[in-house]
Structure 1
Amino acid sequence: MHLLVSAMSTFPKAFIAAIVKSLLRGKSLIQAILAYWVTPLTANGTSTKRKEESKSVQEFLKEAEAALLGPVSGNGLVELCAGLKTQFFERLQTDMECMLPSYSHQLPTGGECGQYLALYVGGSTLRVALVELRGREAGEGKQSEIVNMRNFRIGKDIKDLEGMAFFDWMGQRIQETLSTSLSREHSLEKPLPVALAWSFPIEQTSLGGGKLLRMGKAFLADKGLLGEELGQIVKQACKNQGLNVELRAILNDSSACLLSRAYSYTSTRFGLILGTGVNMAAYLPVMGIGKPKFGVRPDGWFNQASHVIVNTELGMFGHNILPMTRWDHALTRAHPRPDFQPLEHMVSGMYLGEVARLALLEAIETAGLLGGVVPPSLEAPYSLGTDTISMIESDSTPQLKEAIGLFSERHPSSYTPTTSDLLAIQSIASFVSVRSSALVASCVFTLWDCRLEAEQAYISTLPESSPERQRAEADMRLENTTVAFNGSVIENYPGYLSSCQRYVNELVDGKGLAEPRSINLVPAKESSLMGAAVALACVERDD
């Protein structure tokens, strides 16, 4: 070990940092560095066995790199995009589980102003906020602000509340938050308009209405309320607290993400969520979507709507076209719904750590990584968290002491990990995360490409001199298209955003368009609440 440290000490910190950064890009430099470090350990011929194991680790890493990153190199992504494009267009027509048109058909003008009550109900948090919109002319960073917000943890005790008991708890928290914020004009005679970002299934019947479906995630709030109108449930819960509210907009998180940035960036046409799960929303022409997908809607809705925000349910795509490795197949075989969300299994925070764990187990058992000793905790499925591999990848210290300490603490073993062990684990993690960024970039690019094609088809149906055609053609000429994003992986995983943006840029450049085009990934902070407020502002504007 002291020889290894001695060898490392001859490297400047900047050089080590450059090596680590190269891992984020999936480069094979890792094999050369491992080879350099291992050579001093065996130069005197004192440890033939160790040399053979280290060579085996190098071979494993080379094989892992080829399996995980090979298919997304060269023309791999271009071929994947072609397959995704076919699936996107097919499912826009008939699939009733994905490519779901919302009721939101208006993007904000940027002139909407006022204070709006926004709610977010997620798997572990209730958030209540009063959001102020000041208009695009207020200047960068000043267009919107959360005036008052409270976060309430939804623990097991709250999840166990049945039926109205859960919504009464919600009503109490709303009343607490607004007790010092509501103006006197809002009374029991005049309803307070509310928007809700709801991260559970509903059968949406209008922009502000929907029937409650099974919530999942261990919630019992749907008990006795299945099929009931969510807006009426929330209204009654608030009335029990002396509040008169009207639920006027219900959105999923990807639609809210899109709207939150569209208020500030006129070029926003997509919203990307990439955290525990993955999803995208896209603003698409109505005529490009199969009529059965809209269900029963008032005729007036179609008269008003030329475009609509579509919830793609992106994680459900990729059947039979994604480049799956043996570790992906192992994950899928053990999953209770193996065919439901193939893309999500390869890109989201729920699964990145598990793919890395399966690869790591193989490296330990077949290549002698970690001295050939499997830490007992790593035997359990999903025991290697995406947060753990993220922190390991972020360690750029010369001897990876932080990564060693973190891994040893979370996965104790009779074997003490070395710097070269953690460098190999860093490499495995980087292959998994960079592949994820490449696959997500492919989806972003392909949806953008599909939107351009759908817009062109829409324009061809419009009269030459009509205002609608002029607006659509101006939209087609957008030089920069904004994709709003939110979520722990794309926001926090080291190097992920830059890697994803680079792959997007390469795909756009490779299309060889006559005019310059770009797709820009832009953060959408507090997007669920901001987007809900913007949706409500659009409703109020059109009344």
Structure 2
Amino acid sequence: MQPFIATMYKVRQAFYAAIIKSLLRTKSLLQTIFNIWISPPVIKGENVDEDGAICGGKVLLLSPFLVDVAKAFEESKKSSVLMALSNGLRDQFGESLLDNPLNMLPSYNHQLPSGDERGTYLALDVGGSTFRIALIELSGRKSESIGTTILKRDSFKITNDVKQLKGMLFFDWMAERMGETLSGQQEGHDMSEVPLSMGMSWSFPIEQTSLRSGLLQGMGKGFLAAHGLLGHDLGDLIQDSCSRKGLNVQLNAIVNDSSATLLSKAYLDQTTRFAVILGTGTNAAVHLPVHIFSPPKFGIRPASWHDSATHVIVNTELSMFGRGILPYTRWDKALIAGHPRPEFQPLEHFVSGGYLGEIVRLILVEGIQTAGLFGGVVPPSLKEPYSLETETLSHIESDISPTLSSAQQLFLSRHPTTHPPTLADMRALRAIASLVSHRACGVLAAGIHALWQLRNDAESITAQSSSHTLVAYNGSVLENYPGFRVSCQKQLDDLVEASGSKKGVIELMYAEESSLLGAAVAVACIDG
């Protein structure tokens, strides 16, 4: 009997090995789980401890819960699904070009930079937590330098006390900070005679009425600057505060963050036609011909603007699209069920840093409660909505070591528990995070592809004849989340090829200091 037992043992080993080899060779659902969940020593054929998927030559069963999660996200990985999403988004974009007052908003920026603009400009970037100021010299795309030089730059934290400043007090605070930055600053500009031309990137809602004007609206995020000033002209408010502080500056352009990103990269590369922001939130801008908009979308503008504008930079408010066509899982439905505005920004719920962590938290808590992950004990902090930050997931996915020790230490430092996660638990968490982030890459790629299709249609460009085009990007998720940009580019390439064009026609390109540089370029385009 002994030879028979030995033979059967070898057969069984060969059988298991064949299964593993097949799974690792295919593009199946289980391969995805293996690639993410099994540690590098397992993939290399080495034995691992009891937390691994193979031990002593035996195959341990994958968690049914992980298989369930992977199946739920598998649909959104299919190119046919992403193409259908892209087509659906393009249709929604087209409808919004006609009468939607909330998105596909034509800005007052109708000029893309030629790259020959030169001069010294003051740039402001007003965000939710930081006020940044820079004195920027533009030297031209073909200059020996890089085309842009930041002569001086300051950053000021917008604390809760600053947010509580009501009305003009907030704009006076801004002017004081500008005075500090400009104190003694004379590079390339005589501050005593000609006003220093200034542009501003404003990350809050306004009803823009000209390139340098807009009616102030509620700012949210704890700011009280609009108190008593709702409907006042933002440009005038800032100009008045600067005048009271004795600053010889002139505000000539106000842009939002996505428009600024497009302008900043277009100054350096003339093939730029799109911009994407992906951090806590998401947005996109695109340069489109004016003829595809219905006249009411432009509001009341001077005849001179219409006479000179053939194209316009469009603030898409991308986050608001996707209603009814996004690939929802039960965890996405749980997220929006507890959201105060569940239908306001559906696409943002799928891709932005403000929500990726929450989706993973919902999945993880279910796995703990139903499948015994983390010893069946939910870490106390994870009982609170939005307590698992996307930044934490970024660090966990960055750890590619066999032991995931740094990921485990980081997780425990932020989410202490009486039942520390085992190696298998950390692999499961990493697998879940990877599935969620990979889907986000695909959804964002579909959104960019939809804008590309929309522009091609508007310009009567076929996919086959479409030329190389840059998509300028910034934002913490695209910049810092491991593998996010690469995965998004890969899925974007697949969509472009499926449309009949060549791989690489649309290229994601980082736009450094885009808010500041874009504000300066917006002014330079006026000065000509």
Normalised to the residue count of structure 2, the TM-score between the two structures is 0.89
Q: Does 1:510 align with 2:498?
A: yes
- Conservation of the 8 A alpha-carbon contact between 1:231 and 1:246: no
SS at match of 2:247: coil
Shift of 1:143: 1.1
User: What percentage of residue pairs aligned between the two structures are identical?
Assistant: 50
Counterpart of 2:472 in structure 1 is: 484
In the alignment, the residues of structure 2 paired with residue 146 and residue 26 of structure 1 have an alpha-carbon distance, to the nearest angstrom, of 48
1:480-535 C-alpha deviation (Å, 9 max, x unpaired): 1000000000000000000000001001111124x776100000010000001111
- Conservation of the 8 A alpha-carbon contact between 2:464 and 2:500: no
Q: Does 1:133 align with 2:121?
A: no
Counterpart of 1:398 in structure 2 is: 402
* Greater Cα offset, 237-246 or 523-532: 237-246
Distance 1:123-1:208 versus aligned 2 partners, 3 A rule: same
The aligned runs of 1:105-184 (5 Å cut-off) are: 105-139=110-144, 142-182=146-186
Distance 1:44-1:437 versus aligned 2 partners, 3 A rule: closer
Structure 1 runs of 4+ with >4 Å offset: 34-45, 475-478
Counterpart of 2:272 in structure 1 is: 268
One-letter amino acid matched to 1:79: A
Distance 1:336-1:26 versus aligned 2 partners, 3 A rule: farther
In the alignment, the residues of structure 2 paired with residue 315 and residue 90 of structure 1 have an alpha-carbon distance, to the nearest angstrom, of 16
SS at match of 2:111: coil
In the alignment, the residues of structure 1 paired with residue 177 and residue 169 of structure 2 have an alpha-carbon distance, to the nearest angstrom, of 13
Shift of 1:44: 11
1:19-63 C-alpha deviation (Å, 9 max, x unpaired): 9xx99x992325873898576889999xxxxx9xx84x6211111
In the alignment, the residues of structure 1 paired with residue 54 and residue 266 of structure 2 have an alpha-carbon distance, to the nearest angstrom, of 61
In the alignment, the residues of structure 2 paired with residue 179 and residue 314 of structure 1 have an alpha-carbon distance, to the nearest angstrom, of 40
In the alignment, the residues of structure 2 paired with residue 87 and residue 109 of structure 1 have an alpha-carbon distance, to the nearest angstrom, of 32
Shift of 1:290: 1.6
In the alignment, the residues of structure 1 paired with residue 36 and residue 186 of structure 2 have an alpha-carbon distance, to the nearest angstrom, of 62
Counterpart of 1:369 in structure 2 is: 373
In the alignment, the residues of structure 1 paired with residue 163 and residue 55 of structure 2 have an alpha-carbon distance, to the nearest angstrom, of 63
In the alignment, the residues of structure 2 paired with residue 524 and residue 503 of structure 1 have an alpha-carbon distance, to the nearest angstrom, of 21
Distance 1:32-1:358 versus aligned 2 partners, 3 A rule: closer
Distance 1:180-1:43 versus aligned 2 partners, 3 A rule: closer
In the alignment, the residues of structure 2 paired with residue 326 and residue 40 of structure 1 have an alpha-carbon distance, to the nearest angstrom, of 28
Shift of 1:361: 0.4
Counterpart of 2:202 in structure 1 is: 198
In the alignment, the residues of structure 2 paired with residue 41 and residue 142 of structure 1 have an alpha-carbon distance, to the nearest angstrom, of 51
Counterpart of 2:82 in structure 1 is: 77
Q: Residue 486 of structure 2 is aligned with which of 485, 498, 517? A: 498
Shift of 1:478: 5.3
One-letter amino acid matched to 2:359: V
1:347-406 C-alpha deviation (Å, 9 max, x unpaired): 000000000000000111111111111100100000000000110010012201001111
One-letter amino acid matched to 1:381: P
One-letter amino acid matched to 1:181: Q
In the alignment, the residues of structure 1 paired with residue 111 and residue 397 of structure 2 have an alpha-carbon distance, to the nearest angstrom, of 41
Q: Residue 334 of structure 1 is aligned with which of 331, 334, 338? A: 338
- Conservation of the 8 A alpha-carbon contact between 1:81 and 1:446: yes
- Conservation of the 8 A alpha-carbon contact between 1:26 and 1:431: no
Counterpart of 2:256 in structure 1 is: 252
One-letter amino acid matched to 1:160: Q
Shift of 1:80: 1.0
SS at match of 1:137: coil
Distance 1:269-1:245 versus aligned 2 partners, 3 A rule: same
Counterpart of 2:67 in structure 1 is: 62
The aligned runs of 1:391-540 (5 Å cut-off) are: 391-456=395-460, 479-513=467-501, 518-540=505-527
1:421-443 C-alpha deviation (Å, 9 max, x unpaired): 10110000000101000000001
- Conservation of the 8 A alpha-carbon contact between 2:37 and 2:431: no
1:139-177 C-alpha deviation (Å, 9 max, x unpaired): 5x7111211000000010100111111111100000000
In the alignment, the residues of structure 1 paired with residue 248 and residue 300 of structure 2 have an alpha-carbon distance, to the nearest angstrom, of 29
SS at match of 2:153: strand
Shift of 1:74: 3.9
1:55-110 C-alpha deviation (Å, 9 max, x unpaired): 4x621111111212322314111111111111111111111100000000000000
In the alignment, the residues of structure 2 paired with residue 26 and residue 282 of structure 1 have an alpha-carbon distance, to the nearest angstrom, of 37
1:268-304 C-alpha deviation (Å, 9 max, x unpaired): 0001000000000000000011211100001111110
One-letter amino acid matched to 1:93: L
In the alignment, the residues of structure 1 paired with residue 76 and residue 52 of structure 2 have an alpha-carbon distance, to the nearest angstrom, of 35
One-letter amino acid matched to 1:63: D
SS at match of 2:507: strand
Shift of 1:244: 2.6
SS at match of 1:27: helix
In the alignment, the residues of structure 2 paired with residue 43 and residue 84 of structure 1 have an alpha-carbon distance, to the nearest angstrom, of 44
RMSD: 2.5
Q: How many residues are paired up? A: 493
In the alignment, the residues of structure 2 paired with residue 403 and residue 240 of structure 1 have an alpha-carbon distance, to the nearest angstrom, of 52
SS at match of 2:397: helix
One-letter amino acid matched to 1:89: G
In the alignment, the residues of structure 1 paired with residue 52 and residue 524 of structure 2 have an alpha-carbon distance, to the nearest angstrom, of 67
Counterpart of 2:3 in structure 1 is: none
- Conservation of the 8 A alpha-carbon contact between 2:319 and 2:346: yes
In the alignment, the residues of structure 1 paired with residue 31 and residue 296 of structure 2 have an alpha-carbon distance, to the nearest angstrom, of 44
In the alignment, the residues of structure 2 paired with residue 43 and residue 221 of structure 1 have an alpha-carbon distance, to the nearest angstrom, of 60
Structure 1, gaps ≥5 residues long? 1-18, 46-50, 458-472
Normalised to the residue count of structure 1, the TM-score between the two structures is 0.86
Counterpart of 2:103 in structure 1 is: 98
1:197-242 C-alpha deviation (Å, 9 max, x unpaired): 0000011000011111111110011111111111111111111211
Structure 2, gaps ≥5 residues long? 1-23
In the alignment, the residues of structure 1 paired with residue 207 and residue 300 of structure 2 have an alpha-carbon distance, to the nearest angstrom, of 12
